[in-house]
């Protein structure tokens, strides 16, 4: 969502790199470019003014650092200010000391509250809680049925005593839902409330009545990250009419500018606590302001990537795989398939790769990445027999044809996969043996074995040859006297390399030929 904003801010800062000292004019020009980028991204004008003023003030007062160059100091200041307007430090949910913790969701219709209720319920369940979803949206058509379907997909119980579609009292449903949670020992209650297409008195009154009936520990304002400048106005209206303690950004995987949603925390003072990043139930994560600021500055979000990997990967399997890569075993296509299945649990490959630092520089290639390629590779490997997966050397021409027919691919694609598998295995083994990952594998300026054969890495530069290739073999001189001298020198070198009497360097003893230990019957052929 923030690709354009990220590109423009990083471009504005990149112009300062390599400077030993920054003038006021250079700092002002960069801040002006950042200001335009924020405004174009729909960030609220008061927030932009406060942001740029703070960056300018800190940049002017910044002391010269012995570690950071001027451009890095500006990046550090911008990162700190982005973190501040996004809500600062990450806050945990306020959990009730006694009885179930009640979390009420509020927001406009279409913001994604019902889907988010299921995502939040599943996330709480993964944290070790026992959640209950309460269907208090009785106004929108089929809202109750939708919550039941979402709850079933998330593996979370749903309290829905009324059919909805305009039938029932939403306040009473919320009250009885909390009572049911106490009776059945649910420790978290997520109340889904109705919304409107716009802010009106009826919406605010119903939300306030539900709030007063259940006394929630948290009121989370769900806002569509794609609605533009109206996000700030809507958030302020809910803050004044109902009040909320935290913000949840939905549809953060969209392609809108989304800057207005980032203004909500600064305008209302309530932190952004969660983010919905996709359509699946598992596309839900804690919102960390500092990590989002790092993403915007193209510094990556490695911590979130590690946390997701820890949930998806099995520690014992990872340790066993590490031993195989290091050389204690053979890394097979079965291991490769297992790793692919675990990688798929992380979610979108584009999203995962986008969390790596510097990926903004290859955003176009990243956007063109075909997610279906992973499925095709899995189909190829699954079309092999167990013996072929364990020993890829068995896969000859006829077997490749059979695998191609079984996976719906071509023999060329099978060949490409096998080549990439060999390259990846060699590269991983080189990195593991080098110690310290890639840095260890490239110690001494060398490239890990196999990496040179990867696409784009195997081309030799023109005019550069290996040291032994630079030595040209000298030809014989055309001058007879000089050529005779060369021949005598060559003969002397040959005598020095091989002792007289033996072409194989075996020294004769006392003038007698060397005694060879030959098999019986073979010596007669040498006596002739």
- Can you tell me which residue has the tokens 């927001």? 107
Phi first, then psi, for residue 104 (nearest 5°) are -105, 135
- Residue 233 assigned ligand-binding role: no
- Residue 111 assigned ligand-binding role: yes
What is the C-alpha separation between 8 and 236, in angstroms, rounded?
Answer: 29
Give the other-Cβ count within 10 Å of 94's Cβ: 13
- Residue 76 assigned ligand-binding role: no
What is the C-alpha separation between 194 and 244, in angstroms, rounded?
Answer: 15
- Residue 451 assigned ligand-binding role: no
- Residue 109 assigned ligand-binding role: yes
DSSP, collapsed to helix, strand or coil, labels residue 92 as coil
- Residue 193 assigned ligand-binding role: yes
- Residue 251 assigned ligand-binding role: yes
- Residue 397 assigned ligand-binding role: no
- Residue 110 assigned ligand-binding role: yes
- Residue 196 assigned ligand-binding role: yes
What is the C-alpha separation between 29 and 138, in angstroms, rounded?
Answer: 53
- Residue 194 assigned ligand-binding role: yes
What is the C-alpha separation between 449 and 38, in angstroms, rounded?
Answer: 45
- Residue 228 assigned ligand-binding role: no
What is the C-alpha separation between 13 and 31, in angstroms, rounded?
Answer: 9
DSSP, collapsed to helix, strand or coil, labels residue 153 as helix
User: Among 454, 445, 451, 414, which Cα is nearest to 429's?
Assistant: 451
Pairing of β 131-135 and β 218-224: unpaired
- Residue 108 assigned ligand-binding role: yes
- Residue 518 assigned ligand-binding role: no
Pairing of β 284-286 and β 272-276: antiparallel
**27 φψ region: left (φ > 0), alpha (ψ -120 to 50), beta (else):** alpha
- Residue 283 assigned ligand-binding role: no
Q: Point out the annotated binding site.
A: 107-114, 192-196, 250-253
- Please report, in range form, the residues annotated as the binding site for GTP: 107-114, 192-196, 250-253
């Amino acid at each position: 969502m923030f690709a354009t904003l990220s590109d423009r801010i990083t471009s504005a800062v990149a112009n300062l790199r390599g400077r030993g000292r920054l003038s006021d004019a250079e700092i002002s020009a960069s801040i002006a470019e950042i200001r335009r980028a924020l405004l174009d991204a729909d960030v609220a004008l008061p927030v932009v003014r406060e942001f740029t003023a703070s960056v300018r003030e800190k940049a002017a007062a910044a002391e010269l650092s012995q570690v950071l160059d001027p451009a890095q100091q500006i990046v550090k200041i911008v990162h700190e200010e982005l973190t501040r307007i996004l809500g600062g430090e990450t806050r945990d949910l306020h959990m009730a000391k006694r009885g179930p913790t009640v979390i009420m969701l509020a927001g406009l219709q279409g913001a994604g509250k019902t889907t988010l209720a299921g995502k939040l319920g599943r996330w709480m369940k993964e944290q070790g809680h026992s959640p209950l979803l309460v269907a208090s949206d009785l106004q929108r058509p089929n809202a109750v049925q939708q919550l039941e379907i979402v709850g079933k997909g998330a593996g979370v119980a749903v309290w829905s005593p009324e059919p909805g579609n305009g039938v029932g009292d939403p306040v009473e449903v919320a009250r009885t839902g909390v009572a049911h949670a106490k009776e059945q020992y649910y420790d978290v209650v997520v109340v889904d409330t109705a919304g409107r297409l716009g802010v009106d008195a009826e919406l605010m009154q119903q939300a306030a009545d539900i709030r007063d009936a259940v006394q929630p520990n948290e009121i989370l304002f769900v806002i569509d990250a794609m609605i533009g400048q109206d996000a700030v106005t809507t958030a302020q209206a809910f803050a004044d009419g109902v009040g909320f303690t935290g913000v949840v950004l939905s549809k953060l995987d969209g392609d809108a500018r989304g800057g207005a949603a980032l203004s909500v925390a600064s305008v209302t003072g309530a932190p952004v606590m969660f983010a919905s990043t996709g359509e699946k139930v598992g596309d839900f994560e804690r919102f960390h302001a500092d990590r989002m600021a790092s993403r915007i500055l193209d510094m990556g979000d490695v911590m979130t990537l590690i946390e997701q990997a820890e949930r998806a990967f099995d520690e014992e399997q990872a340790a066993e795989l590490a031993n195989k890569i290091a050389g204690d075993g053979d890394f097979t296509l079965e291991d490769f398939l297992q790793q692919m299945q675990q990688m798929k649990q992380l979610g979108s490959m584009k999203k995962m790769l986008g969390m790596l630092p510097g990926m903004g520089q290859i955003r176009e290639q990243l956007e063109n990445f075909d997610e279906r390629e992973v499925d095709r590779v899995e189909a190829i490997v699954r079309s092999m027999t167990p013996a072929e997966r364990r020993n890829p050397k068995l896969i000859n021409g006829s077997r490749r044809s059979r695998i191609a027919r079984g996976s719906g691919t071509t023999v060329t694609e099978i060949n490409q996969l096998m080549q990439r598998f060999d390259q990846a295995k060699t590269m991983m083994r080189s990195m593991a043996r080098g110690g310290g990952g890639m840095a260890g594998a490239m110690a001494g300026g060398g490239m890990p074995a196999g990496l040179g054969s990867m696409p784009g890495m195997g081309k030799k530069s023109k005019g550069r040859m290996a040291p032994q290739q630079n030595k040209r073999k000298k030809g014989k001189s055309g001058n007879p006297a000089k050529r005779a001298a060369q021949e005598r020198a060559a003969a002397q070198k040959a005598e020095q390399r091989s002792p007289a009497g033996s072409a194989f360097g075996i020294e004769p003893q006392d003038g007698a030929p060397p005694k060879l230990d030959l098999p019986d019957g073979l010596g007669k052929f040498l006596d002739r």
